[in-house]
Amino acid sequence: MEYIAHNYQKVATNFILDRKISALFLNCGLGKTSITLSAIDELMLDRFDVAKVLVIAPLRVCNVWKDEIKKWNHLKDLSYLLIVGSKKDREKALSQKAHIYVINRENVDWLITKSGYHFDFDMLVIDELSSFKNGQSKRFKSLIKVRPFIKRVVGLTATPASNGLMDLWAEFKLIDGGRRLEKYITHYRKKYFEPDLRNGMQIYSYLPKPNAEKAIYKQISDITISMESSDYLDMPDLVFNKVKVYMDDGEKEIYDEMKKKFVVEVLRRKREEDIQNNWASVEIDAVNAGVLSGKLLQLASGGIYDEDSTAHFIHDKKLYALEDLIEAANGNPVLVAYWFGFDRERIKERFNVREIKTEKDISDWNEGKIPVAIMHPASAGHGLNLQKGGSTLIWYSLTWSLELYQQTNARLYRQGQDQTVIIHHIVCSGTIDEQVMKALKNKKKNQDSLIEAVKVHIE
């Protein structure tokens, strides 16, 4: 297929070509893979500036790089190998010659510290740079060891600061070695942040100092650009809707007891063969605030797990709301995002649904063969094109992760979507669901400030 680049794609490709290091914050659907591959093609085969490229991507997205190389005519001379699968398969791929080697991020530590391979890549592309925001992870520590030997680095993501500006330190440490946002995380924190929540000397969270955001944006602006789909593509409308459900007094009492005491007693049904006294109580507790947050989210969704990971169900309010939304879709395909395992089981038990897992599932969805599909954001967040199969997404249970939230929404709201996209959120009133919605909104506001600060405006 002939590649006819949009003006913004030419700008982004040239941005990579003109800099040894670059970060591109591109919304889903803008073609970041083809943009980067076009730059690689010129660097390798025209300028002879690069000899060997390593692309690190989420596992599912590894195939996207392969497909894009095969798709476009101007990339026909680029050879590639996927370093995925079993150890034997990975070792075989490394033993062969190619221009581009694509590896999933889970195997980065293996490649650098365990494979015995002499790291000789002179260009690095990190697809979903935000997956390297943890400076203590093995993948980060391994990659930072070989960073000095890499001549060119490109970081790609649509969600650079999903949990706040603290995420940026590790991401840009990989790009510029710590030149712009300090060499050490402690120096970065000291310069731009101040303690927020603390207990004596123990600090749990930080807040940006006054004017810190602008200072950080300025520091990275010379190597960073951002582009949003709505600026360059003819996108349909995007509608967000909140569907509230309400616990009854007894259900809310269980929720409030857990919230207040970190422990709650619920009824569970014994085995069916027990005829008499068929109900017994089980005590479920939360050992700390983090666990409590998860338990409250479970209760808001309708159930709760005990210490043996057995689910106990409290209410069906979200199931009724989901039923109403499916009926209101009037036969149009509906995609449902769930978070907890018991959500999946309850939805599958009540409705005729199919989970998006395989390439066949994706194909059937896009061909309109699946009326109601379900998926988990963590397994389907990146590299999944579902815009052809429908335009309605329902968040049955919510996540704190802005990155997963935005990436999941972008499965439907992306280039190629020709209908108004409606995103419903089933929110249990008076519960932690409302705090999650507020937190997602606040995180997006912070991230939007970063995107705006480094946005490219193209006439």
Q: Tens of pLDDT along 242-266?
A: 999 999 999 999 898 888 876 665 5
Are the beta carbons of 84 and 61 closer than 8 angstroms?
A: no
Whether 176 shows a pLDDT value over 80: the answer reads yes
* CB atoms inside a 10 Å sphere around CB 324: 13
Q: Which of 262, 308, 270 is nearest to 288 (CA)?
A: 262
Q: Which of 62, 103, 52, 99 is nearest to 78 (CA)?
A: 99
Q: Residue 283: what pLDDT?
A: 58
Q: In whole angstroms, give the CA distance from residue 217 to residue 26.
A: 16
Q: Residue 272: what pLDDT?
A: 44
Average per-residue pLDDT for the chain: 88
Are the beta carbons of 398 and 437 closer than 8 angstroms?
A: yes
* CB atoms inside a 10 Å sphere around CB 114: 11
383 torsion bin: left (phi>0), alpha (psi -120 to 50), beta (else): left
Q: Which of 111, 126, 226, 134 is nearest to 175 (CA)?
A: 126
Whether 188 shows a pLDDT value over 90: the answer reads yes
Of 3-12, 131-140, 253-262, minimum mean pLDDT range: 253-262
| Three-state DSSP string of the chain | CCCCCCHHHHHHHHHHHCCCEEEEEECCCCCHHHHHHHHHHHHHHCCCCCCCEEEEECHHHHHHHHHHHHHCHHHCCCCEEEECCCHHHHHHHHCCCCCEEEEEHHHHHHHHHHCCCCCCCCEEEEECHHHHCCCCCHHHHHHHHHHHHCCEEEEEECCCCCCCHHHHHHHHHHHHCCCCCCCCHHHHHHHHEEECCEECCEECCEEECCCHHHHHHHHHHHHEEEECHHHHCCCCCEEEEEEEECCCHHHHHHHHHHHHHCEEEEEEECCCCCCCCCEEEEEEECCCHHHHHHHHHHHHHCEEECCCCCEEECCCHHHHHHHHHHHHCCCCCEEEECCCHHHHHHHHHHCCCEECCCHHHHHHHHCCCCCEEEECHHHHCCCCCCCCCCCEEEECCCCCCHHHHHHHHCCCCCCCCCCCEEEEEEEECCCHHHHHHHHHHHHHHHHHHHHHHCECCCC
All domains of the chain in start order, with CATH: 7-232 (3.40.50.10810), 238-244+317-428 (3.40.50.300), 249-313 (no CATH)
Of 125-129, 158-162, 275-279, minimum mean pLDDT range: 275-279
Of residues 251 and 201, more confidently modeled:
251
Whether 276 shows a pLDDT value over 60: the answer reads no
Q: Residue 318: what pLDDT?
A: 95
Paired residues of 281 in beta bridges: 267
- The position carrying tokens 């009492």 is 253
pLDDT band, very low/low/confident/very high, at 331 (cuts 50, 70, 90): confident
Query: Could you give phi then psi for residue 350, rounded to 5 degrees?
Result: -90, -30
Q: Residue 43: what pLDDT?
A: 97
Q: In whole angstroms, give the CA distance from residue 348 to residue 162.
A: 31
Are the beta carbons of 458 and 11 closer than 8 angstroms?
A: yes
Report the pLDDT averaged over residues 319-336.
Answer: 91
Q: Residue 263: what pLDDT?
A: 63
Of residues 400 and 81, more confidently modeled:
81
Whether 364 shows a pLDDT value over 80: the answer reads yes
Q: In whole angstroms, give the CA distance from residue 33 to residue 311.
A: 42
Q: Residue 153: what pLDDT?
A: 97
Q: For residue range 29-73, list pLDDT tens digits in order.
A: 788 999 999 999 999 999 999 999 999 998 878 888 998 999 999
Whether 102 shows a pLDDT value over 90: the answer reads yes
Q: In whole angstroms, give the CA distance from residue 68 to residue 126.
A: 16
Q: Residue 264: what pLDDT?
A: 60
Q: For residue range 304-322, list pLDDT tens digits in order.
A: 888 888 888 989 999 999 9
pLDDT band, very low/low/confident/very high, at 359 (cuts 50, 70, 90): confident
Q: Residue 126: what pLDDT?
A: 97
Query: Could you give phi then psi for residue 304, rounded to 5 degrees?
Result: -160, 140
Q: For residue range 105-122, list pLDDT tens digits in order.
A: 999 999 999 999 999 999
pLDDT band, very low/low/confident/very high, at 457 (cuts 50, 70, 90): low
Q: Residue 383: what pLDDT?
A: 58
Q: In whole angstroms, give the CA distance from residue 156 to residue 154.
A: 7
Q: Which of 112, 117, 124, 120 is nearest to 53 (CA)?
A: 124
